[in-house]
Structure 1
Amino acid sequence: MAAEIIAGILIGTILGTISGLIPGIHANTMAGMLVAAESGLLAILGAPAVGVALFSALVVHTFTDCVPSTFFGVPDADTAISVLPAHALCMQGRGEEAVRLSALGSAVSMAFVMPLFAIFMFFLPGLQGYIDWWLGIILIIIAGMLILSSESPEWSAAVFLLSGLLGVFAFRYAWLISHTSGVSSVLMPLLTGLFGISVLLRASGGKMPEQVRCGPSVAGKSLAWHAGLGTTAGAVVGWLPGLSNATGNALLSPLFRAGSEGKGYIIATSAANTANAFLGLAALIALGRMRNGVMVVLDTIGMPSPLLIIAGGVAAALCGFVITLVCGRGARFLGGVPVRAMSYAVIGVVTLLAFLLTGIFGMFILVCATMVGLVPSLVNVRRVTCMGAVMVPVILFSLNIL
């Protein structure tokens, strides 16, 4: 059995690395690949090892998905907002530092996650009815904080509502996506347009600065504080229904101002993504709620022992941490690359991926999202207000309006 579990961790680590390094590919996609080979893998490895492989892929993805967002400015559903300060550091020649900050945030979150996992498992199920009822109200308060803390509340409200309308439309008609990657795959073109292509289209000329090899310049207390904030946000979205990692990052945005705390935001959002993976597992075990495609497959094949799958996830996290640091070394190859040419090349690649993964409807959402994503820079408000695309549908769903 030990050999099969180790094989499961290695398979999950490989798949999570691939999904994290390719923009637009989520761990859910890799879960689909495992499902396609399910009968053979179950016969060879057994259900516990396949379950560990699935969860390992999800955990490793939360580490490695910072690499394309940092170096190329292309987000996936989990890195939509953190791409902004991370890519900015890369444009200052500090891309490796941004990747290391992200890896540290995810790693430190593990120290906070385990106690929360036990608390969630044993104490929150009895309060779930009250939590569900207050979800919409809580998100409305958070949206208000997001808007009122901006430079121009009027324009921020307009961008928030505009992106929210686009999000409602995208989720309402997500069934038009022509592929089997699931309704949640509409997040790929939606967030790529809002936070990726719209930024790359305004890329300046010149060349990418030489990347300096350096460790993360952050104090231990600051690292723990920001990782703790991120873990808390990840805990909220990992347990509450209808929320995603993108929403967790939006929850953090009112606590940070642009500029000096960009590094803290990178740490916090990475911690939130990793914490969300583990506490989403807690929600599946305690409530039977499936927070993503990986959890759906886990429920289908039969949940392994919780201690076994958690141990596999921790081992995968260690692997993901090392792999992310190694990938961060790739920053040195970017020095001197023409910025505009690289931006256009990345736009072409992610547009092709959007078409392959989501079809014509996804392309329509991508174009609309890109147009909306250009608005914040025109009216001089923070791009985080575009998270209305995720928050507004969740609010309406929670209040039984949508």
Structure 2
Amino acid sequence: LGAPDEDSALTLLPAHSLLLEGKGYEAVALSALGSYGAILFSILLILPMRFIIDSPFNSYNILHEIMGYILIAITILMIATEKGRITDFTDKGVIPSILGIIFAFIVFIISGIFGLMILDFPVASPIGLPAPVLFPALAGLFGLPTLLTSALTKPTIPTQTIEDVEIEEKEKKSSILSIITGSLAGILVSIIPGITSATGTILAMNIRGESSRRQTIVTLSAVNTACAFSVILVLFIILKARSGAALAIQQLIPIEEWNTMNIPLNLVYLMASLLFSGTLSYFFTIFIGKIFAQRFTGIPYQPLVVATIVIIIILVSLFTGLNGLLVLLVATFIGLLPISWGVRRSHCMGVLLLPITLYFLM
């Protein structure tokens, strides 16, 4: 969902632009490849991660002491590598690129100030459900703007081409590099608070240099999967939950700190289940993706987008009440800025990055 029209496709996700070219299945297959590759690579790094994060290297404690400066460096890199060009004033020289960076900085600052403002903003569920203020904030910054843009522009989704994805020998090496850099970035995301998979992808892409849309999809999927995999490992090493899934696991099973050579039994079970489910998911994704692509044009796309928007609004109302709807509204306006300006939406992560950075610096 949330596919743009043809004119704005290049400012959004590579997968969306492939979808508009009738290559949605190719995007799905590449994403599955990146995810499965990240699982296999992350499995190989289980023991090295234990030694690097904890004793004898104790990198987490070292990073924790300078975390504020690390977050500042990541923020600068994220903004400085903005590729968007603002051509409203001129399309010549470096001015459009400089304006793109300035606009990215503005999005980051506005999002950051918004994050500071909602830290203690009172939200309450009218039916007694948990009321996390970040739910409407993140839904507004990243969810609704894309859906609204798609609903208003009414993109035409072409018939999808169903072909097995062929990767040439040269691109195989590039895919392996994408998986490795994406996985390493995903591991970093699982350790450092406040940065997301989108930020991790930016880091990975800068490490590996320029790449195609196909490799961007592989890298992004590798980052996401490696992060999801690594947060479980990090939970057993530093006893801190870095995601909702890790928090749920922490509440469901006893977490034994991994401070010896022997891997905790519960961690072994979790790693085995992740490997098994990841393998099944890869083949199911390829299979179901092909079926879905064949029938995609028959799906009532616009009603589905509108229904999704309505569901998000209803959920926000149920979980966070009227104040949550206010947060959602403001966040949506902020989230529309990068889309309308043509800069990366990841700059909206200022909503978390700025407050967390200030926390570590103070």
- For residue 346 of structure 1, what is the amino acid of its counterpart? T
Query: CA 1:110 to 1:251, structure 2 compared with 1: closer, same or farther past 3 Å?
Result: same
Structure 1 segment 16-31 matched on structure 2, within 5 A = none
Tell me the equivalent position of 1:143. Answer: 75
| Deviation of the 1:173 alpha carbon | 3.1
Distance 1:251 1:174 in 2: 32
Query: CA 1:132 to 1:351, structure 2 compared with 1: closer, same or farther past 3 Å?
Result: same
Counterpart among 147, 153, 159 of residue 210 in structure 1: 159
Counterpart contact for 2:185–2:223, Cα < 8 Å? yes
Structure 1 segment 253-332 matched on structure 2, within 5 A = 261-300=212-251, 301-303=253-255, 304-329=265-290, 330-332=292-294
3-state SS of paired residue (2:13): helix
Distance 1:377 1:241 in 2: 25
Query: CA 1:361 to 1:267, structure 2 compared with 1: closer, same or farther past 3 Å?
Result: farther
Counterpart among 85, 88, 92 of residue 14 in structure 2: 85
Distance 2:130 2:18 in 1: 33
Tell me the equivalent position of 1:47. Answer: none
Tell me the equivalent position of 2:93. Answer: none
Distance 2:46 2:207 in 1: 24
- For residue 285 of structure 1, what is the amino acid of its counterpart? F
Counterpart contact for 1:146–1:254, Cα < 8 Å? no
What CA deviation, in whole Å up to 9, does each residue of 1:81-129 have, x standing for no partner? x972222322222222111111111100122212322112123212322
Distance 1:315 1:85 in 2: 29
TM-score (norm 2): 0.77
Counterpart contact for 2:129–2:318, Cα < 8 Å? no
1:159 paired to 2:107 = yes
Answer with 335-344 or 96-105: which moved more.
Answer: 335-344
Query: CA 1:149 to 1:239, structure 2 compared with 1: closer, same or farther past 3 Å?
Result: closer
Counterpart contact for 2:181–2:208, Cα < 8 Å? no
1:229 paired to 2:181 = yes
What CA deviation, in whole Å up to 9, does each residue of 1:335-389 have, x standing for no partner? 1656555433332233333334444333222211211122224334333322322
Tell me the equivalent position of 1:77. Answer: none
3-state SS of paired residue (2:268): helix
Counterpart among 180, 194, 198 of residue 141 in structure 2: 194
Tell me the equivalent position of 1:51. Answer: none
Query: CA 1:223 to 1:360, structure 2 compared with 1: closer, same or farther past 3 Å?
Result: farther
Query: CA 1:229 to 1:364, structure 2 compared with 1: closer, same or farther past 3 Å?
Result: farther
Tell me the equivalent position of 2:120. Answer: 173
Distance 2:180 2:31 in 1: 14
Relative contact order, higher structure (CA 8 A, sep 6+):
2
Tell me the equivalent position of 1:385. Answer: 347
Distance 1:180 1:121 in 2: 37
1:101 paired to 2:30 = yes
Tell me the equivalent position of 1:397. Answer: 359
User: What 5-or-longer segments of structure 1 have no aligned partner?
Assistant: 1-70, 75-81
Q: For this pair of structures, how many residues does the alignment match?
A: 319
Distance 2:32 2:21 in 1: 19
- For residue 163 of structure 2, what is the amino acid of its counterpart? C
RMSD (CA atoms)? 3.0
Distance 1:297 1:336 in 2: 38
- Percent identical among aligned pairs is 30
Answer with 223-232 or 189-198: which moved more.
Answer: 189-198
User: What 5-or-longer segments of structure 2 have no aligned partner?
Assistant: 5-10, 83-96, 256-264
- For residue 282 of structure 1, what is the amino acid of its counterpart? L
Largest Rg, 1 or 2: 2
- For residue 266 of structure 1, what is the amino acid of its counterpart? I
Counterpart among 32, 42, 47 of residue 118 in structure 1: 47
Counterpart contact for 1:237–1:248, Cα < 8 Å? yes
Tell me the equivalent position of 1:375. Answer: 337
Distance 2:329 2:206 in 1: 28
Tell me the equivalent position of 1:129. Answer: 61
What CA deviation, in whole Å up to 9, does each residue of 1:7-52 have, x standing for no partner? xxxxxxxxxxxxxxxxxxxxxxxxxxxxxxxxxxxxxxxxxxxxxx
- For residue 215 of structure 2, what is the amino acid of its counterpart? G
Distance 1:328 1:112 in 2: 24
| Deviation of the 1:221 alpha carbon | 1.3
1:350 paired to 2:308 = no
Distance 2:300 2:268 in 1: 49
- For residue 196 of structure 1, what is the amino acid of its counterpart? G
What CA deviation, in whole Å up to 9, does each residue of 1:236-277 have, x standing for no partner? 12123455545534544656999x733222211211121112
Higher normalized helix content (fraction of residues)? 1
| Deviation of the 1:164 alpha carbon | 1.7
Query: CA 1:256 to 1:380, structure 2 compared with 1: closer, same or farther past 3 Å?
Result: farther
